Structure 1
Amino acid sequence: MKDPIGGTSRVGSRGRNLEDLRRQNLSTVLSLVHANRSMTRADLTHATGLNRSTVATIVTELESLDLVTVSQPVDTKRVGRPSTVIGPSPRHIAVAVHPDKDAISIGVVAMGGRVLREFRFDVERAPTAVHVVNTLQALVRGLELSEGGTVLGVGIGVPGLVGARDGVVRVAPHLDWHDEPLVQMVAKATGLPTWAANDATCAVVAEGQFGEGIDEDNVVYLNGGAGGIGGGVIVGGQLLSGENGYSGELGHMLVNSDGGLCHCGAVGCLETEVNRDDLLSVVGLGDAESSLLEQRLREAYGEEPAVTALVDRQLDFLGIALRNIVNIFNPGVIVLGGFLGAVRNATGDRLLDSVERAALAGPSSEVRIVSSTLDENVLIGAGELVFRTILRDPTSASVGSPTSAREPEQVAAS
């Protein structure tokens, strides 16, 4: 698919001058290697339309910037001299953060969508913004000493509305955050460039680049987590962000006009009628045992009347939401994450059959509904917020570590 948030997918015009052309070609090759996780030099030549010597020169420069690695193929059946394999270097890393009401997850992410290390800090109650910043600040100091690479910046996937222009979290209801200047707080505390976006927006970017949305230009991601349901949408290969980054709040789609009151003030929202807590309760699991939900649903669905009734009810409302999504966006694939993926996996074709019956015949016949298989897609997508700068201009890597730009400052205790 096309790159929805940064970088270049193919060589374009010559640019204003030779320096522009050089930067564009570097961006093109690095973006291809990043998106594909590795490519042979021959494949890069074919994909870019550049000649072999030009590709070799570009790869050499990217290698000198420590942005790619060059190796010989392990095994090849091609006749003739084997083409070298170009992969993204693990030396430039992003720190990715995902705060939720039950934990703060922090990952060390390398280009190519690889999570090198992950840290999970469980919390008894929803963390404050200051708590998240202080946790991150302590961890970043250790990373600078232990990883040995260049920390390019911090990307944060927030379960709430994040302003695209200022990085202010307008509201994250399940965290009880309101008008938190999160990007400014993190940048001040860590001394690192910082970006933030909605967590489901981060996830759909990751799914489009590295998950179930590969080779799809129209992708919808719907995630069910501890804090409700969020969504992200890619249309025509481009991330649908809205006027200020607030689009994709699919969890607040009306699915039941006689439903319960949502925390947003509306009635019958998707995340009110379809929720993880009710599912955990009916199968006798607690929050700490949520990883066992799919297994218990497989065992109980169709066998235990109370479980079957609740799951069918939630599937009916989820089907209404997916019908609307199919009719409005005409996606090639809908990816379900979190407990929504678990419900789909445990109930066979029930959900797809419901959507095919209710949605318009044209778009419903073309859509796939799948469960996410990409672990830590929010962290990977948050890392993409950081990498888009270096993908657009790989020569920025020669400036040096951004950690030297300014000294971190203390944040008040939570």
Structure 2
Amino acid sequence: MLEKLHLSGSASRSELTTTTGLNRSTIAALVGELGELGLVEERGTTPAAGPGRPSPMVHTRPQGAVALAIEFIVDSLGVATVGLGGHVYNLVRIARPTDRFSPAETAQDVVKLAGPLLDALPPDHRLVGVGAAVAGTTRRADGVVTFAPNLGWRDVPLAALLEEELCLPVPVSVANEADLGALAEHRRARPGTDHLLYISGEVGIGCGAIIDGRPLLGAAGYAGEAGHTLIKPDGRPCRCGARGCWETEAGEAALLRLAGVPSGAGGIETVAERAAAGDEPALRALDEVGRWLGLGIGNLVNLFNPDVVVLGGVYERLFARLEPSMTEAVRARALASSGEMAAIVRSGLGSDAALLGAAELALSEVLADPAAATGAP
């Protein structure tokens, strides 16, 4: 019941009775228990639709369970405080300093950003966890980033590092940013979509999958590294050490190279501006990257048969420019049966998808076991 309120918003007791299949007295008892835990409250009533009393409205209390969310990607660092029900208290994002790329320095930067956000929370808030999204393969069991080639990290115990630097009495969970982008899109933007792929485009390409309504993670959390699948055997070397990976043809670096734009901050915006002005190299670059993007998506559509493929990061920002060549390539590559089913759309959460997914990761324990996660006896 708490999960329904968290994902779908306020509901009346009668609505909760209908959607859960529980009887009225059980709903009343559960609402009372969650109220004692400080997670929900009753305010207002629905108009009576017939005989009987109006039904009380049940609302989540965002301050009853708050997550500190962190996102580590190549060109930026994001931190947010998010409460139950998806309420964003504060969110800040900064460009990553090029001379502060080490894990230890990055963790120290997180502390500086997080302090004011935590101080600004309501006095009666309850912090329940820290969630971190990172652009790299991450072992969920202990929060070790085993390999993040575009960050230059290998075997970094990020969860332990954040615990030490933040000094907060709550658990720290770390996961791949594309997996968390998929989780956020599934929970906050497209609830009810049981088969969803989230393609994250930054310096590299990540893929998160929701299959049968559940995240597809693999044995250790490494599933979904689509950016390092082979798409061009005689292609360019990749930072992972292989050659011809998908991200070498459809990633940010490929787009900048083809458009003749120097890499660095503002490069993508420069390509977009040149394309809007009719610059031929920029337009050709977008068509070429869109084609490679579509070929990779076509492979994934054949493999996973999703209802929807969500494009995030760079692909969300450039969606309108990439869409024509991408769509043509998907149609050429995907089987007609599965290709016709898959809608390809831009992220509903924009650049904050992975960061909001990190918050959802930290709040998951509260949804699974409200009493235990809030320290109730």
TM-score of the superposed pair, with normalisation by structure 1 = 0.82
Is 1:240 matched up with 2:207? no
* Aligned counterparts, 1:291-370, within 5 A: 292=269, 296=273, 299-300=276-277, 303-370=278-345
* Aligned counterparts, 1:134-213, within 5 A: 134-147=108-121, 148=123, 149-189=125-165, 190-191=167-168, 192-211=170-189, 213=190
Whole-Å Cα distance in 1 between the matches of residues 267 and 27 of structure 2?
48
Whole-Å Cα distance in 2 between the matches of residues 62 and 123 of structure 1?
40
* Mapped contact 1:160–1:198 kept (Cα < 8 A): yes
Look up the equivalent residue of 1:101 and give its one-letter code: V
| Partner of residue 289 from structure 1, selected from 248, 252, 266 | 266
Change (3 A) 1:291 1:65: farther
Deviation digits for residues 23-81 of structure 1 (CA, Å, limit 9, x no counterpart): xxxxxx111111213322222111111112221221122122111232226x8695565
Matched pairs, number: 367
Is 1:380 matched up with 2:356? yes
Deviation digits for residues 344-374 of structure 1 (CA, Å, limit 9, x no counterpart): 3224444223312321111011110000021
Whole-Å Cα distance in 1 between the matches of residues 37 and 271 of structure 2?
45
Partner of 1:228: 204
Deviation digits for residues 200-232 of structure 1 (CA, Å, limit 9, x no counterpart): 111101111112x4221111100111x311110
Partner of 1:109: 82
| Partner of residue 368 from structure 2, selected from 376, 392, 397 | 392
Higher relative contact order (CA 8 A, sep 6+): 1
Residue 188 of structure 1 and its aligned partner are, at CA, apart by 2.6
* Mapped contact 1:285–1:293 kept (Cα < 8 A): no
Look up the equivalent residue of 1:172 and give its one-letter code: A
Partner of 1:412: none
Is 1:95 matched up with 2:68? yes
Whole-Å Cα distance in 1 between the matches of residues 153 and 294 of structure 2?
31
Whole-Å Cα distance in 2 between the matches of residues 56 and 122 of structure 1?
48
Partner of 1:39: 11
Whole-Å Cα distance in 1 between the matches of residues 273 and 111 of structure 2?
38
Tell me the SS of whatever aligns to 1:162.
Answer: strand
Whole-Å Cα distance in 2 between the matches of residues 297 and 329 of structure 1?
36
Residue 115 of structure 1 and its aligned partner are, at CA, apart by 2.2
* Mapped contact 2:256–2:271 kept (Cα < 8 A): no
TM-score of the superposed pair, with normalisation by structure 2 = 0.89
* Mapped contact 1:222–1:229 kept (Cα < 8 A): yes
* Mapped contact 1:152–1:193 kept (Cα < 8 A): yes
Residue 103 of structure 1 and its aligned partner are, at CA, apart by 2.1
Look up the equivalent residue of 2:7 and give its one-letter code: A
Change (3 A) 1:287 1:336: same
Look up the equivalent residue of 2:313 and give its one-letter code: G
Whole-Å Cα distance in 2 between the matches of residues 140 and 170 of structure 1?
25
Residue 390 of structure 1 and its aligned partner are, at CA, apart by 1.3
Residue 316 of structure 1 and its aligned partner are, at CA, apart by 1.5
Change (3 A) 1:252 1:286: closer
Whole-Å Cα distance in 2 between the matches of residues 110 and 393 of structure 1?
16
Whole-Å Cα distance in 2 between the matches of residues 241 and 316 of structure 1?
28
Whole-Å Cα distance in 1 between the matches of residues 295 and 324 of structure 2?
15
Change (3 A) 1:78 1:255: farther
Deviation digits for residues 257-293 of structure 1 (CA, Å, limit 9, x no counterpart): 2221101111111111112245457386874436746
Mean CA deviation greater in 280-289 or 78-87: 280-289
Look up the equivalent residue of 1:327 and give its one-letter code: N
- How large is the Cα RMSD of the aligned pairs? 2.5
Change (3 A) 1:231 1:76: farther
Look up the equivalent residue of 2:162 and give its one-letter code: V
Residue 177 of structure 1 and its aligned partner are, at CA, apart by 1.1
Look up the equivalent residue of 1:275 and give its one-letter code: G
